[in-house]
Chains A and B, each alone.
Chain A
């Protein structure tokens, strides 16, 4: 694509304030995510990371502000346009979100049946391919309750990429996984993202995976109720002017971090 006019950022969050009733969770959030970024939402427990993700997914409405996808506002779009935007997203939830009454194959088949014109046989082949991609080839007829937690996470990833999405959202992708599986999942996310040219947005506080894969991030503070750091996490760890961010990213106790000028 030729750049006559600069392309709008893939995702843009503008003046976002999130609140449950009168209690404000986070206010004045401003950040952009570019095509191909791996973007991490960080912050202490209860600061509103998952709430921010739910706003980005359109599950919750912002009190004020807006979220733009490729320059188009999600919340001002009609329901049909929102549906079209959502088809370009792949999402894995904290505990997988796989339908427990369906086998893995049926879970992945569902979005393909709903939104594509593939024939039944083609869908079956694509499901086999998606499962192979996450290392679960041959597990078509298993129910989510019959496989381990790590496999469930990968199966959820297979369902998220069923429609070849442009944006992948992850809520705590590696929570509850051992370090090796967690690292393999990180690698898988990077490989899939790179080969599909997708943008990744994830909520996580696994430091190793943040430094291994993320190239952009935002830190939400639960005392001031706004974002206090924004940028490459490795950069923030070494050069952030905010002590609590360096503390978070170096996993140290408060006393070890003195205020940088």
Chain B
């Protein structure tokens, strides 16, 4: 069956009425003369009546319908009466349905362009709002904490144990890998420089102090931000989408006590433990590199012991606690304040990781400066 190209002709009938005769097959794959030509023709004729005639119409699908709808809208705008005749009944019906509801005339909402998103004033305002939100959230968490200490909070121990398990043992693999490698990197870095002074043996000091004070805890925190912080944001965001958080609130339970506290406490407990584990593995990683450069394991251990002091370990553990709180705040805040769509949940997870890493680095720098001045 050969198909005929879709066409229309405008036939003047009386002084100010005309017929729009449609012919051919109006379906997918055909290319009709666009509507814009007809629009200008209609505008120049000032008709009172326009009748679409379908007597010689072939096959049709949505293409014809969208054309007729445009005719209808255009006639309406000009005050012309639009009618149809000899149309298949399906077309009449569909057109009636499509024109039953007035189109929304309210102007389309302005979407911000990417350029205006770079407006410094706007960025500053957003950063300020973000900071306010974070502070408010921290305040809520503090209030919940005091209720917990007084034994009044609706925090379930079971949840806490669950989150400890998710955050701790499940993270062993990746923490082992990253910390051994970081220890090795530190050792290489130091060894190349120290060799110039014939002081390779001090690699042990460098690795021990570097891991304990800085790299062990920082790497653990970065991994946990990506792993656990993002998971918290996604969990809470999905709960928000699912109206679970509304359900918790209307049961008279504070979402912060019920959802945020167990997650945060789990991180506070697990982070120092993971940090100690990472420190140990990092030092072993450094030992492997040192061994490869001719330093015997016993030598490495004895030299390392001289660098080992309680204050180094304590600094690392203190940082671990601070970082745990920051990761939990960033993750849970992003999740609780998430929008209610799948895209918003993804946004919340991204937000959680980015915010957490920024927090981590800023806090690390601040802590280092303070300790520098305190000579710890």
Contact (Cβ within 8 A) B93 A195: yes
Contact (Cβ within 8 A) A129 B66: yes
Contact (Cβ within 8 A) B69 A197: no
Question: A152 CB to closest chain B CB, in angstroms?
Answer: 11
- In the bound complex, CA of A222 to CA of B69 (Å): 47
Cβ contacts B249-277/A at 8 Å (1 or 0 each): 00000000000000000000000000000
Question: B205 CB to closest chain A CB, in angstroms?
Answer: 52
Instruction: Confirm or deny: B339 has a beta carbon within 8 angstroms of a beta carbon on chain A.
Output: yes
Q: Beyond A117-B28, A136-B101, A145-B340: 9 further Cβ-contacts under 8 Å?
A: A100-B341, A128-B66, A130-B62, A132-B103, A138-B105, A142-B109, A191-B94, A194-B90, A197-B90
- In the bound complex, CA of A192 to CA of B95 (Å): 10
Instruction: Confirm or deny: A196 has a beta carbon within 8 angstroms of a beta carbon on chain B.
Output: yes
- In the bound complex, CA of A52 to CA of B61 (Å): 31
Q: A100-B343, A117-B29, A125-B70 are in contact. Are A133 and B111 (CB under 8 A)?
A: no
- In the bound complex, CA of A84 to CA of B341 (Å): 31
Instruction: Confirm or deny: A72 has a beta carbon within 8 angstroms of a beta carbon on chain B.
Output: no
Q: Which chain A residues lie closer than 8 Å to B102 at the CB level?
A: 137
Q: Which chain A residues lie closer than 8 Å to B151 at the CB level?
A: none
- In the bound complex, CA of A100 to CA of B238 (Å): 14
Q: Which residues A145-191 have CB closer than 8 A to chain B? A: 145, 164, 188, 191
Question: B223 CB to closest chain A CB, in angstroms?
Answer: 28
Question: In the complex, which residue of chain B has the Cβ closest to the Cβ of A162?
Answer: B62
Instruction: Confirm or deny: A126 has a beta carbon within 8 angstroms of a beta carbon on chain B.
Output: yes
Q: Which residues B83-122 have CB closer than 8 A to chain A? A: 89-91, 93-94, 97-106, 108-109, 111
Q: Which residues A96-139 have CB closer than 8 A to chain B? A: 100-101, 116-119, 121-122, 125-126, 128-130, 132-133, 135-139
Q: Which residues B21-55 have CB closer than 8 A to chain A? A: 28-29, 31, 34-35
Question: B75 CB to closest chain A CB, in angstroms?
Answer: 15
Cβ contacts B55-70/A at 8 Å (1 or 0 each): 0000001110111011
Cβ contacts A219-260/B at 8 Å (1 or 0 each): 000000000000000000000000000000000000000000
Q: Which chain B residues lie closer than 8 Å to A62 at the CB level?
A: none
Q: A138-B104, A139-B104, A192-B94 are in contact. Are A128 and B69 (CB under 8 A)?
A: yes
Contact (Cβ within 8 A) B69 A145: no
Instruction: Confirm or deny: A140 has a beta carbon within 8 angstroms of a beta carbon on chain B.
Output: yes
Q: Which chain A residues lie closer than 8 Å to B98 at the CB level?
A: 129, 132-133, 137
Contact (Cβ within 8 A) A132 B105: no
Q: A100-B343, A144-B341 are in contact. Are A125 and B67 (CB under 8 A)?
A: yes
Contact (Cβ within 8 A) B91 A126: no
Question: In the complex, which residue of chain A has the Cβ closest to the Cβ of B346?
Answer: A101
List 7 tightest A-B contacts by C-beta distance, closest first: A138-B104, A137-B103, A100-B341, A195-B90, A101-B343, A135-B101, A129-B66
- In the bound complex, CA of A139 to CA of B105 (Å): 9
Contact (Cβ within 8 A) A191 B62: no
Instruction: Confirm or deny: B12 has a beta carbon within 8 angstroms of a beta carbon on chain A.
Output: no
Contact (Cβ within 8 A) B90 A125: no
B residues in contact (CB < 8 Å) with A:
28-29, 31, 34-35, 61-63, 65-67, 69-70, 89-91, 93-94, 97-106, 108-109, 111, 339-344
Which of A116, A125, A142 interacts with B35 by CB under 8 Å?
A125
- In the bound complex, CA of A25 to CA of B118 (Å): 56
Instruction: Confirm or deny: A141 has a beta carbon within 8 angstroms of a beta carbon on chain B.
Output: yes
Question: In the complex, which residue of chain A has the Cβ closest to the Cβ of B96?
Answer: A191
Which of A126, A138, A196 interacts with B63 by CB under 8 Å?
A126
Which of B28, B65, B101, B341 interacts with A129 by CB under 8 Å?
B65
Question: In the complex, which residue of chain B has the Cβ closest to the Cβ of A101?
Answer: B343
Contact (Cβ within 8 A) A129 B62: yes
A residues in contact (CB < 8 Å) with B:
100-101, 116-119, 121-122, 125-126, 128-130, 132-133, 135-145, 164, 188, 191-192, 194-197
Contact (Cβ within 8 A) A194 B66: no
Q: Which chain B residues lie closer than 8 Å to A116 at the CB level?
A: 28
Most-contacted residue by chain B among A117, A121, A129, A196 (CB, 10 A): A129
Question: B373 CB to closest chain A CB, in angstroms?
Answer: 48
Q: Which chain A residues lie closer than 8 Å to B29 at the CB level?
A: 117
- In the bound complex, CA of A135 to CA of B109 (Å): 19
Contact (Cβ within 8 A) A196 B90: yes
Question: In the complex, which residue of chain A has the Cβ closest to the Cβ of B69?
Answer: A129
Which of A119, A164, A194 interacts with B61 by CB under 8 Å?
A164
Q: Could you list 13 A-B pairs, sorted by A, with CB under 8 Å?
A: A101-B341, A101-B342, A121-B34, A125-B35, A126-B63, A126-B65, A126-B66, A129-B62, A130-B62, A137-B98, A137-B102, A195-B93, A195-B97
Question: In the complex, which residue of chain A has the Cβ closest to the Cβ of B101?
Answer: A135
- In the bound complex, CA of A145 to CA of B29 (Å): 34
- In the bound complex, CA of A130 to CA of B90 (Å): 15
- In the bound complex, CA of A230 to CA of B34 (Å): 49
Q: Which chain B residues lie closer than 8 Å to A137 at the CB level?
A: 98, 101-104
Q: Which chain A residues lie closer than 8 Å to B111 at the CB level?
A: 141
Contact (Cβ within 8 A) A135 B35: no
Contact (Cβ within 8 A) B63 A141: no
Contact (Cβ within 8 A) A195 B91: yes
- In the bound complex, CA of A129 to CA of B89 (Å): 18
Q: Which chain A residues lie closer than 8 Å to B99 at the CB level?
A: 132
Q: Which chain B residues lie closer than 8 Å to A135 at the CB level?
A: 100-101
Question: A137 CB to closest chain B CB, in angstroms?
Answer: 3
Question: A192 CB to closest chain B CB, in angstroms?
Answer: 7
Q: Which chain A residues lie closer than 8 Å to B34 at the CB level?
A: 121
- In the bound complex, CA of A119 to CA of B29 (Å): 10
Q: Which chain A residues lie closer than 8 Å to B93 at the CB level?
A: 191, 194-195
Most-contacted residue by chain A among B97, B106, B344 (CB, 10 A): B97
